[in-house]
């Protein structure tokens, strides 16, 4: 019987494990993927918006060779933190069944069963992309994750969206030799939240015609060789080899529902929790990190949700 089990081995799940270790609580961390799975899924050449000091956890300095750290540096840093604190997470082991008992919880994975008094959900949001909900979305040419530009050399590429991931994909594929890059964007302009060094770049590329952008537009169908989309004036069909659907991601709501977590009656489907303890309406179930924002996945980042870990651990200690 562990004091707590942490679902999610990202930076915030690790921070919770470190805080538990400092407090003398027994814990176990699980993740259905690799360590810091969300960061692993970022594009290979991605640069963080935050400075390295704002990504630190566990009193371990994050030294970067750049003004803003890269994905590769972050992966190296969090591996080092995990080893230093001997967190020993169970990776590639998904917890799929939760049973509530009088003294805590019983959890089942495909490998084993576990018992704990408390659960921390720190699962992030990168595993569940928003679907386009159009015909042809299941074709192999449609990708909801972008890693690097090389596969799109000499290809006609459509990028859906106008946030950071879409902008990065459009700029990289254009610069690495895509035959054409077309952005299909629901909004009226490139988002103001795009990284300050990338926004002028994409705006200039669109204005000069190197990258084509259709604003206030939506895809209506995808075929093996084309993409059809609707603009404010007409329906257009263009030749296409790949669709990079950078439409954003959402938390694992089904996991929260299995645990009995309820949600506010708002557009963001925000889970209910007490901000001073991070405990949800389900007794013994705590929320940490991005999952706290519901559909507002841009509300919580590593730098402003690191503080969830000490709040949760103090609350668990107080209950003991």
Range of the domain at 166: 131-245
Same domain assignment for residues 148 and 236: yes
- 165-203 tens-digit pLDDT: 999 999 999 999 999 999 999 999 998 889 889 999 999
pLDDT at 124: 86
CA distances to 43, 189, 192, 244, 280 from 200, rounded to whole Å, are: 20, 12, 11, 21, 41
What CATH number did the domain enclosing 201 receive?
Answer: 3.50.50.60
* Helix and strand numbers, DSSP H then E, in the chain: 8, 16
Altogether, the residues listed in the chain come to a count of: 320
Q: Which of residues 215, 245, 275 is at a domain's end?
A: 245
- 108-128 tens-digit pLDDT: 999 999 999 999 999 988 888
> What is the rounded CA–CA span in Å between residue 159 and residue 309?
37
Same domain assignment for residues 111 and 255: yes
């Amino acid at each position: 019987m562990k004091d707590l089990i942490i679902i999610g081995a990202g930076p915030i799940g690790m921070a919770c494990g470190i805080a538990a270790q400092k407090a003398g609580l027994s814990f176990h961390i699980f993740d259905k993927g690799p360590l810091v799975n969300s960061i692993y899924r970022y594009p290979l050449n991605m640069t963080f918006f935050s400075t390295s000091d704002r990504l630190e956890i566990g009193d371990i300095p994050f030294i970067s060779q750049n003004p803003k750290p890269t994905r590769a540096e972050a992966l190296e840093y969090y591996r080092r933190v995990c080893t230093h604190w001997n967190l020993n997470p169970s990776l590639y082991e998904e917890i799929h069944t939760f049973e509530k008992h009088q003294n805590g919880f019983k959890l089942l994975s495909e490998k084993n069963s576990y018992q704990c008094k408390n659960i921390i959900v720190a699962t992030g949001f990168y595993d569940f992309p928003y679907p386009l909900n159009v015909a042809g979305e299941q074709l192999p040419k449609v990708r909801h994750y972008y890693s690097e530009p090389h596969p799109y050399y000499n290809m006609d590429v459509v990028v859906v969206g106008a946030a950071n991931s879409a902008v990065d994909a459009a700029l990289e594929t254009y610069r690495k030799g895509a035959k054409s890059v077309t952005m299909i964007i629901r909004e009226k302009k490139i988002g103001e939240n795009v990284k300050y060094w990338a926004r002028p770049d994409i705006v200039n590329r669109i204005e000069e015609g190197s990258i084509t952008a259709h604003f206030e537009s939506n895809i209506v169908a995808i075929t093996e060789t084309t993409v059809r989309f609707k603009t404010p004036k007409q329906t257009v069909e263009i030749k296409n080899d790949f669709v990079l659907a950078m439409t954003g991601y959402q938390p694992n709501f089904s996991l929260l529902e299995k645990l009995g977590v309820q949600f506010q009656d708002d557009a963001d489907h925000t889970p209910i929790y007490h901000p001073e303890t991070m405990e949800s309406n389900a007794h013994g179930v705590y929320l940490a990190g991005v999952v706290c924002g519901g559909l507002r996945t841009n509300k919580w980042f590593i730098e402003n949700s690191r503080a969830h870990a000490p709040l949760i651990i103090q609350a668990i200690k107080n209950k003991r």
